[in-house]
Chain A
Amino acid sequence: MVGREDVVSVLVLIQAGAGLLAMFGELLFMGNPLYLVVPVAKAAVLFVLAAKVVGRRRWALIALLTFEGLSVLGVSASTLVGLLPGLDRTMTLTGLLTEVGIPLVVIVYCAQLLAAWSSAPARPSEPTTIAVDPWAEVAR
């Protein structure tokens, strides 16, 4: 099935947009532009990774796997901290989609792509060049 990297790319772009939106919730609350830095940097990195995955860069897949793994770890940490008496953890329908659904799909697809690219190391997106001896015809 082709197009797996394109699916990953669009899902990551959705995550980038959702991350930028989440930034406003903190920016308005804290009123300090310092809170722009990490979310904007994260969105920029995701934007680049989305492009590089479609360009079949192996490092981009590994970076995305790491990022999504950390995201899932963050959700797990929130759930654990939410077990404390004074705190709780709210899971919303959209939260399930953006914090659990999309990261898991991206992890599965990235792992599948990584396995597929490992078994076929040449990058099919680039034209295959065959070394040709220009003097062979002359010598013949």
Chain B
Amino acid sequence: MNPVQTLLAGIAPDHVPALLAVLLLPLLPVLLRRLTGGLSARPAERSPASGNLVDRWAAALLAVSCAVHLALPLGHHDSPLLTVGFLGSGIAYGWLALRAREGKRWRLGTVLLVVATLVGYLVVVGAAGEEPDQVGIATALVELAALGFALVPLRTPARPRRAARFWGSAGTVTAVVVVGAVIWVGSFLAHRANPAAASPAAGAAPVVGLDHEHAHEHAARAQAGVIMRPLGANDHATAAQQQAAAELAAATKQATARYADLNAALAAGYRLPPVKSTGPDVHLENKAFAKDGRTLDPARPEMLVYAIDGGRATLLGVVFVMEVAGAPGPAPGGPGTRWHAHNLCVSLLPPGLGIVSPYGGCPAFSLNLTSGEMMHVWVVDNPGGPFAEGLDAAWVRGYHATHGLAVAGGTGG
């Protein structure tokens, strides 16, 4: 996917009206001036804008949140109660934005409203009712900034308000971390809910990335560690695509049977990772296969995935990786063979690897990079099927306990 496609993939279709409302927001004052120009021609009759930049920033941030909340029902089509909630909070944000713009009291109302709406959003995300997307997270960031402006009091020469400023600052930082952490956990929960849910019929390829009711696509739109290629309109595999996916799974299982013994994989050039070389999902990479110019070759998968623990190893599956990052991988099974990429933080001090946060950032001294597209094919009969996004760790532990092969030479924990 190119950068624009990736950016758009993070935006849930339900939230497009809200994003458009924000983009059109700067035109609103011009429109209002045109409409009310005849009614209040004299500038003196209009309320003066606050001379304090904090009030103006708060007004702008609250106006953005107002626009999002008012436009959400256009895309969401939720229950009447939720629609009323969106409209009510949108009106409240708009009222507070006007007050902040005019320099009237807005802080207490902002704190109460932002806390209420963020708690509501986190409950929805935490209960996995809604997969967090970039518009939702960006709106949460905007509201957190408004909360910060409301919590941290202004310092004046006469009133330094050190204690209030300290606690307001600490509260702002804490709110940013807690909200982001809950969103992140919600994103993982949505991701993990998939493999167990997408139980396919025997021999059929599951449609990777649909929830248990096939009601909406799981697209990892938080883009926090995982970038899923969007399914688009055609989210169900045809019979031919299902057949092609089943053939790919069978060919992969057959070709990699020789790597059931971890030592055979090591002898073939696969290497254990420098960290986390034991556990339920250890990825071994073959550098030669990663640069051989061959794509989706069952005989030469770029990575093998093992469960390694207690001196034994179990081959779970393979990972096919595209050689050129950004290039789309072939999908013979259509939506059944779906590719994804990982956005990672490569830190230099100390050297290490992590995943990008829902706020799109990395720790200090890190590079924010994205891997090439990749696709798992599991060679074990896991409940989620051969193309599930991941395996359930508890299921893997049970399978490993009964199927693990002894590893010679001290490898394997």
In the complex the two chains form, what is the Cα distance from A39 to B353 in whole Å?
14
Question: Nearest Cβ in chain A — how far from B144, in angstroms?
Answer: 7
In the complex the two chains form, what is the Cα distance from A34 to B351 in whole Å?
10
Q: Which chain B residues lie closer than 8 Å to A27 at the CB level?
A: 354
The reply to whether A22 and B157 form a contact with Cβ atoms under 8 Å apart is no
Instruction: Say whether, besides A7-B53, A10-B145, A54-B155, A19 and B363 are in contact (CB < 8 Å).
Output: yes
Of B203-211, B329-337, B365-373, the segment with at least 4 beta carbons within 8 Å of chain A is B365-373
The reply to whether A91 and B324 form a contact with Cβ atoms under 8 Å apart is no
* B337-352 contact mask (Cβ, 8 Å, vs A): 1 or 0: 0000101010101101
Chain A, interface SS category:
helix
Question: Nearest Cβ in chain B — how far from A89, in angstroms?
Answer: 6
Chain B, interface SS category:
mixed
Q: Which chain A residues lie closer than 8 Å to B387 at the CB level?
A: none
Interface size on A, residues (CB 8 A): 65
Question: Nearest Cβ in chain A — how far from B23, in angstroms?
Answer: 12
The reply to whether B154 and A6 form a contact with Cβ atoms under 8 Å apart is yes
A64 at the interface (CB under 8 A from B): no
The reply to whether A38 and B363 form a contact with Cβ atoms under 8 Å apart is yes
Chain B residue at minimum C-beta to C-beta distance from A67:
B364
The reply to whether A13 and B347 form a contact with Cβ atoms under 8 Å apart is no
Instruction: Say whether, besides A35-B350, A47-B169, A98-B141, A89 and B359 are in contact (CB < 8 Å).
Output: no
The reply to whether B149 and A38 form a contact with Cβ atoms under 8 Å apart is no
B10 at the interface (CB under 8 A from A): yes
Instruction: Say whether, besides A3-B52, A29-B353, A10 and B135 are in contact (CB < 8 Å).
Output: no
In the complex the two chains form, what is the Cα distance from A125 to B165 in whole Å?
15
Q: Which chain B residues lie closer than 8 Å to A90 at the CB level?
A: 3, 6, 223, 227, 341, 343, 356, 368, 370
In the complex the two chains form, what is the Cα distance from A126 to B155 in whole Å?
12
Q: Which chain A residues lie closer than 8 Å to B224 at the CB level?
A: 25
Point out residues on A near B: beta carbons under 8 Å: 1-4, 6-7, 9-11, 13-14, 16-32, 34-35, 38-39, 42-43, 47, 50-51, 54-55, 74-75, 77-78, 81-82, 84-99, 124-127
List, sorted by A's number, 18 A–B pairs whose CB atoms are closer than 8 Å: A3-B55, A6-B155, A7-B53, A11-B145, A13-B169, A18-B180, A29-B353, A30-B275, A38-B349, A74-B367, A81-B367, A82-B370, A86-B323, A90-B341, A91-B3, A94-B137, A94-B359, A98-B360
